[in-house]
Structure formats: C-alpha cells, structure tokens
Amino acid sequence: MVKDKLTSNDKSPFDIGDKVSFKLEKNTFKGTIEKAYNNAYLIAFKSNDPVLEDKYHDKVVISNKKLKMVKMSNHNSKESKQKEENTDEKK
C-alpha cells in the first residue's frame, strides 16, 4: 500500500498570512498564520487578558483541524500553485 506523502497542512486550505479564528481556553480569538508545521500552525494573536498574554506571549500553535478561515491572504501560495497546475493541465 502506497502512503500519501502529503502532510495534512499540504491538504489544508490555510497558508502563511491567512487570518484565522480559533478557540483558546474557552475564548475565541482571531490571528494571523506565521509559520506552518506538519499538522499545525503558529498563529500570532492579540489578547487583552494579561494572564493569557503572559502565558502565550501573543503566539500559539494550533492544530489545523481547529482553525476556521476568516480571510485568505493575497499571497496564498497554495492558491497560485493550484492555478498553475490547472493551466499546465489545459496545455
């Protein structure tokens, strides 16, 4: 059996620069994806709660399954790769 070599991030619609929402300690936050890992993303966010700010320093790693898209970035590389693949297939 051939294993799928794509990570779950390769299959996900998220990319660096996208605005996403997520739940953290029973609160919903919005942030920006800064870095991609195999199954999660590093997200920068702002919190007015000093306890959360001290604990997370405005950055957190969240599983890609727990993210919701708020706004796709203008430079979404996954979207441009898909367009390139589609134009190559039409030739």
For each of the domains in the chain, give its residue range(s) and CATH number, in order of start. 8-90 (2.30.30.30)
Torsion sign (Cα): 42, 49, 21, 73: negative
Beta bridge partners, 43, equal 33, 60
Average pLDDT, rounded, for the chain: 82
pLDDT of the residue at 72: 87
pLDDT-derived band at 73, boundaries 50, 70, 90: confident
- Rounded to two decimals, the pTM is 0.71
State the Cα–Cα distance between residues 1 and 24, nearest whole angstrom: 38
pLDDT-derived band at 30, boundaries 50, 70, 90: very high
